[in-house]
Amino acid sequence: MMARTMTTTRTRSRPLKTIRLSLGALVLLALVIFLLSNRVPVSVAFFPFGTLGSAVLGAIVLIAFGLGVLLGMLIHLPRRMRAQRRAKRAERQLAAMQAQPPAQAAPADETISLPPAA
């Protein structure tokens, strides 16, 4: 029964993976087109340091995008690691519960006594 659940999960995640890859490819294509379209050098200034130098606008945007993706991944990483630990713990608990023989139910009384109606 567990193999069936895993197969279903894999089948459901395949379209999501395709959509995610397609969106990623579109964003990357847009960035490359932007990079090739904006080859004008611009000066880069950062408030406390003043002007740091000049670089191509497209490269600056590409670097800023990459830093944003990296920062987002770093922020998301602890939450993802916690979720993975919880999932592994739940899988171990499930395996332990499935390995135990089912508990025998106590025999039920044949007669049921009800309180008198008021």
* Inside any domain, residue 105: no
Please report where in the chains the tokens 């995640």 appear, as a residue. 13
* Inside any domain, residue 63: yes
Q: What is the pLDDT of residues 66-97, one digit of tens each?
A: 999 999 999 999 999 999 999 999 999 999 99
Query: Number of structural domains, the chain?
Result: 1
CA 11/CA 34 separation, integer angstroms: 36
* Inside any domain, residue 19: yes
Residue 36: domain span: 10-97
* Inside any domain, residue 51: yes
* Inside any domain, residue 37: yes
**What's the pTM?**
0.56
Give the DSSP letter string of 52-110. EEEEEHHHHHHHHHHHHHHHHHHHHHHHHHHHHHHHHHHHHHHHHHHHSPPPPPPPPPS
Q: Estimate the crossing angle of helix 57-99 against helix 2-37, to 10 degrees.
A: 170
